[in-house]
Structure 1
Amino acid sequence: MNITAIQEVRWTNSGSLKSQGNTLLYSGGDKHEYGVGFVIRDNAATNIVRFQPISDRICYIELKCKWYNMFLINCYAPTEDKSDDIKNKFYEDLDLVCNTLPIGKPKIILGDFNAKIGKENIYKPTIGYESLHEITNDNGNKLITFATTKNMIISNTFFPHKNIHKQTFISPCGLVRNQIDHMLVDNRIKLCVKDIRSMRECSAMSDHFLVKAKIKLRISTKWRKNNKYKEKINKDILKTTTAEVHQEKISIKLRDIQEMANLNETWEKKRWFNDECKAAQEEKEKARTKVLQNPSEDNKRLLAQK
């Protein structure tokens, strides 16, 4: 995938890191908790107009498209057991971010919202008919309310799939499986989203599955790495504008980020990460794969012990 939104980065402050053809743009706080970011393939980097870290729960990028720019907002919402004050603060911050962005530019809000979306008829215009759960929890109600006020839909609950491809989270014991990662889309571009489903075969060493969205937009021609046709010189294109200068500066910054040979090598240098940790991580991943293939009680018990 060209652009991947990730949560629970757990890095302090904000910054960027380049490795193996990808650039990680991350936003964190003062502590090693929460954290959000974007992993961007090199062939998409030139279409990133800007990256804006907001907090350890929210960040966004502005993406240059063919006819307009679009914003991707990455979120990590508080869990269901957190107090209403903490939850309300998150949605107030998210609302403030949305209100500061240009109204004319479409937005996609995605991430881990810890929200179960049910099948209540009153919410159908916003959630569709394909959610995994029957009853909406408190986080789900807050997410639906936010989407409705912003004239957005929760796009992933509109696509029919097997339940295993709707699940985005599996507990360490393998007993609890939820759909709590979502993607909110402006109503005006909802038809651009062709499909959303979880990718069980993609291991991210996490209790969450990777969620893949297929979006068909008119992206700038810079996105196409190998252009087969040479365009005629257009004098108007040669005229420098402020926006183009800014975009070029961003592209240069992304190219100049220090190249790291391997992120795993960097992490392994940490004192807490040794061969024993690596072996335990691999054993847990094997146990997790067994549960996905055969969710027997023995396999679930084995995963819970890892």
Structure 2
Amino acid sequence: MRRYNLEVLGIIETYWTQIGQQRLTSGDLLLYSGHEEENAPQTQGVALMLSKQAQNSLIGWESHGPRIIKASFKTKKEGITMNIIQCYAPTNDYNEDAKDQFYNRLQSIVEKCQKKDLAILMGDFNAKVGMDSTGYEDIMGRHGLRERNEN
């Protein structure tokens, strides 16, 4: 993180179970969210790594299962909170119910952020944009891979 001057780093596919935080020898703080059930599969998992400076601004954090974690930070602007939401979306191979459940939960988390606050949504949405940008020319480049998926 220091090499690239990062204050917050989002991580996916941690494969860790449980929810918690761990201070690293570097002084950085790791917030993690995985499956909570006993004997849960070691799949999915998300985390946020915070520098010392980010830790000083941390208001709180929430686990939303093995695919979503949210941390809230004070900003220099009085009364404005920065919410960072780290996600790991299901791939297209998952059934529609699992995908709907993920996106509904994500929508709910985003909607709970106050309108005046800053929300940063990041992670792996397992999206393939493909090479056909018809109708999306203003937001897509020409260098997509293969065909677009539904994510």
TM class by shorter chain equals: 0.7 to 0.9
Q: Report whether the alignment pairs 1:15 with 2:20.
A: yes
Q: Which amino acid aligns with 1:120?
A: S
Which residue number in structure 1 is paired with residue 3 of structure 2?
none
- Per the TM alignment, residue 108 of structure 1 is displaced from its structure 2 partner at its CA by 1.2
Out of 135, 138, 142, which is 1:122 matched to? Answer: 135
Deviation readout 1:222-260 (Å, 9 max, x if unpaired): xxxxxxxxxxxxxxxxxxxxxxxxxxxxxxxxxxxxxxx
Describe the SS at the equivalent of 1:114.
coil
Larger strand proportion of the pair: 2
Q: Which amino acid aligns with 1:53?
A: S
Residue 111 of structure 1 deviates from its aligned partner by 0.7
Whether 1:83 aligns to 2:98 is no
Post-superposition Cα deviations, 1:160-212, rounded to whole Å, max 9, x if no partner, equal xxxxxxxxxxxxxxxxxxxxxxxxxxxxxxxxxxxxxxxxxxxxxxxxxxxxx
Residue 43 (str. 1) matches residue 49 (str. 2): no
**Quick one: distance in 2 between partners of 1:130 and 1:24?**
37
1:101 to 1:129, Cα distance in 2 relative to 1, 3 A: same
Percent of pairs with identical residues = 31
Long gaps (5+) in structure 2: 1-5
| Cα pair 1:17 1:25 within 8 Å, conserved | yes
Mapped to 1, the partners of 2:146 and 2:73 lie a distance apart of: 35
1:6 aligns with 2:11: yes
User: What SS does structure 2 have at the residue aligned with 1:38?
Assistant: strand
Instruction: Tell me the alpha carbon deviations over residues 240-293 of structure 1, each in whole angstroms, 9 at most, x when there is no partner.
Output: xxxxxxxxxxxxxxxxxxxxxxxxxxxxxxxxxxxxxxxxxxxxxxxxxxxxxx
Q: Check the 8 A contact 2:133/2:141 in 1, yes or no.
A: no
Report deviation, 1:123.
2.6
Alignment-mate amino acid for residue 23 of structure 1: L
How far 1:90 moved relative to its partner? Answer: 0.7
Structure 1 alignment gaps of length 5 or more: 140-306
1:25 aligns with 2:31: yes
Deviation at 1:130, TM superposition (A): 5.6
Aligned length: 138
Matched, 1:66 2:76: yes
TM-score normalized by the length of structure 2 = 0.82
Residue 134 of structure 1, CA deviation: 6.0
- Greater relative contact order, per chain length (Cα 8 Å cut-off, separation 6+): 2
- Measured after TM superposition, the shift of residue 131 of structure 1 is 5.1
Task: State the Cα RMSD in Å.
Answer: 1.7
How has the CA–CA distance of structure 1 residues 117 and 10 changed in structure 2, closer, same or farther, with 3 Å as cutoff? same
Does structure 2 retain, via aligned residues, the 8 Å contact 1:24–1:40? yes
CA distance in 1 between counterparts of 2:126 and 2:73 reads: 26
More helix by share: 1
CA contact (8 A) 1:7 1:112 kept: yes
Question: Given that residues 133 and 142 in structure 2 are in contact (C-alpha distance below 8 angstroms), is that contact kept between their aligned partners in structure 1?
Answer: no
Runs of 4+ that moved beyond 3 A: none
Structure 1 position 129, deviation (Å): 2.6
Structure 1: how far apart are the matches of 2:14 and 2:100? 22
Written as runs of structure 1 = structure 2, the 5 A alignment for 1:250-289 is none
Q: How do 1:220-235 residues align onto structure 2 when only pairs under 5 Å count?
A: none
**Equivalent-residue separation in structure 2 for 1:11 and 1:48 (angstroms):** 23
Instruction: Tell whether 2:95 aligns with 1:95.
Output: no
- The secondary structure found in structure 1 opposite 2:135 is helix
Aligned to 1:57: 67
